[in-house]
């Protein structure tokens, strides 16, 4: 449960840093695209935490998110 809490805090901070300037500039297209990408990333991480894999997606995630997964493993190790 601590892992999900940390993950949620990281994503909220990321979203805040990303969305506040876009709201000020009223870039609605970028806000929608960023929200979708951030939401997909969050869902994929939660699936990964609970060891639920979708085979075609897991190969893509492995390539794209490998640095983030390594960071997450380090955070998980610190929480234990």
Going by pLDDT thresholds of 50, 70 and 90, the confidence category of residue 24 is: confident
53/45: higher pLDDT: 45
Q: Which residues form the domain of 57?
A: 2-79
pLDDT on residue 46: 77
- CA dist 42 and 54 (Å) reads 15
- Enter the tokens of residue 30: 């970028």
Confidence (pTM): 0.50
Domain count across the chain? 1
Distance CA 78, CA 80 (A): 6
């Amino acid at each position: 449960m601590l892992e999900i809490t940390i993950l949620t805090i990281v994503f909220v901070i990321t979203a805040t840093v990303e969305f506040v300037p876009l709201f000020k500039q009223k870039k609605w297209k970028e806000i929608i695209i960023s929200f979708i990408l951030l939401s997909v990333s969050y869902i994929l991480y939660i699936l990964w935490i609970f060891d639920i894999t979708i085979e075609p997606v897991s190969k893509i995630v492995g390539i794209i998110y490998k640095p983030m997964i390594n960071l997450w493993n380090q955070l998980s190790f610190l929480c234990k």
